[in-house]
Amino acid sequence: MILLYKPYYKLFVVSNGQQDDFIRLVDQNRGILHKVCRLYCFTETDRQDLFQEIVIQLWRSYPGFRGDAKFSTWLYRIALNTAISDLRKQRPPTTLTDPGELPTQLRDIQYTGEKEQQLQLLYTAINRLTEVEKALTMLYLEDKSYQEMEEILGIPQNNLRVKMNRIKDKLRKMTKEATYGIG
């Protein structure tokens, strides 16, 4: 039996069974957490710190998870809220006025395969988006429906569609001179 301190001056009792369930669920969704860290941090140390912080916040919030929403929706909310709120690990936003800069950077990267090359290109492009755009792009790439995106982000679906089209345009512009254009 574990006593879990919550910042509302309450103690929650979490059984060992619940702890096991939690670890199993987080382990199953570990890839999502790693991708969030990869998108929102620029150094390895920051990524590890953010990963740790997200797991801590998930664990603290776990007693309040009643299964009303899907576990992945709940996990996305906490991971994105933690990543977006922790502004220390984010560099100042990059302006997108010079898309021609990107291919020069990309030529310096050693690629081992076509897929890795595309993935690296994708990450490089997404890193130049704003925090909100990154979240949206990630959910889109994870094949979430607009309804799920709305449940996670709290942005109306119509607005999400407009934003997503704008993001696609941005990504296309940023990569138009690269070997693989994204659009």
Helix (H, G, I), strand (E, B) or coil at 98: coil
Select from 49, 101, 148, 177 the one that contacts another protein (CB under 8 A). Answer: 49
- Per the structure block, which two tokens stand in for 88? 């220390």
Select from 15, 109, 141, 157 the one that contacts another protein (CB under 8 A). Answer: 141
Span near another protein by CB under 8 A; candidates 95-103, 104-112, 118-126: 118-126
Cα–Cα distance for residue pair 62/20, rounded to 1 Å: 12
Cβ of 141: how many Cβ atoms within 10 Å? Answer: 11
- Name the CA dihedral angle for 11, 54, 51, 46, rounded to a multiple of 10 degrees: -110
173 binds another protein (CB under 8 A): no
Instruction: Compare residues 27 and 105 and give the one whose CB is closer to another protein.
Output: 27
Select from 128, 152, 173, 174 the one that contacts another protein (CB under 8 A). Answer: 152
E-strand spans in the chain? 2-6, 10-14
Q: What is the enclosing helix (H) or strand (E) of 6?
A: strand 2-6
Span near another protein by CB under 8 A; candidates 94-102, 103-111, 125-133: 125-133
**Site residues for another protein, window 55-84 (CB under 8 A)?**
55-57, 59-61, 64-65, 74, 77-78, 80-82, 84
Q: Report which of 128, 38, 19, 18 is spatially closest to residue 79, judged by C-alpha positions.
A: 38
The site that binds another protein (CB under 8 A) totals a number of residues, namely 66
Using CB under 8 A, list all residues that contact another protein: 7-9, 19, 23-24, 26-27, 30-31, 33-35, 37-38, 44, 47-49, 51-53, 55-57, 59-61, 64-65, 74, 77-78, 80-82, 84-88, 115, 118-119, 122, 130-132, 135, 140-143, 151-155, 159, 162, 168, 171, 180-183
